[in-house]
Structure 1
Amino acid sequence: MILELVKSPLGRLRIIAFVEGISYLVLLGIAMPLKYLAGLPQAVKTVGMAHGVLFVLFVVLLVQVAVEKSWSFKKSMLSFLSSLVPFGTFYADAKWFRD
């Protein structure tokens, strides 16, 4: 299943969207509380860096897929905006990232 997804740009976008969504939830739900409640700022530095790299990769893949699939500007922007909201990439996968 995963090997089949990796073969297409849309499949790669779906995988990265999932991992990016998980990293966002970990950042907000685990790393931030560790920083502010337990005084462990390293958690945000580590998870934040990983999330930042995944977010940039998500945007690059989103642009690639939007161009390749001739997505409308609205669909492309909604897909992008979904990555800014917790659980948004999971919604986008169910709504827009399926063939």
Structure 2
Amino acid sequence: MIKFFKIIALLEGISLLALFSNMLFIKPSNFDLYKSFLFPIGMSHGILFIAYIALAVLFKYENKYSFKTFFIISLASFIPFGTFYIEKKYLNKLQ
């Protein structure tokens, strides 16, 4: 299960960066291309975000994390490159 959480954390971080890249780099230059990429990137990011938070809740109870640790892991999904940090700091300790 830890391997699955690490994969979801990695994919969630990549999808957040793809969403920001679409918004920052493609939108100013080509609005039609931006609109065509927005739905698939946004939908995949939404699904991965929900999976990441659900797995964080499961890991909180499975590994008896404190609320502070759970809050940090959950907050990392809102910050660019945050899930990569969580993978290195918290998830590698569990293996």
Unmatched runs of 5 consecutive residues or more in structure 2: none
1:72 to partner: Cα distance: 0.5
The partner residue of 1:91 within 62, 85, 94 is 85
1:36 to partner: Cα distance: 3.8
Larger relative contact order (Cα-Cα within 8 Å, sequence gap ≥ 6): 2
Counterparts of 1:68 and 1:36, CA distance in 2: 45
The partner residue of 2:39 within 45, 48, 60 is 45
Aligned to 1:26: 18
Percent identity reads 37
Aligned length: 90
1:43 to partner: Cα distance: 0.8
Q: Pick the structure with more helix per residue.
A: 2
- Worse-superposed segment, 37-46 or 17-26: 37-46
Counterparts of 2:36 and 2:80, CA distance in 1: 22
- For normalisation by structure 2, the TM-score amounts to 0.88
Unmatched runs of 5 consecutive residues or more in structure 1: 1-7
Counterparts of 1:15 and 1:66, CA distance in 2: 17
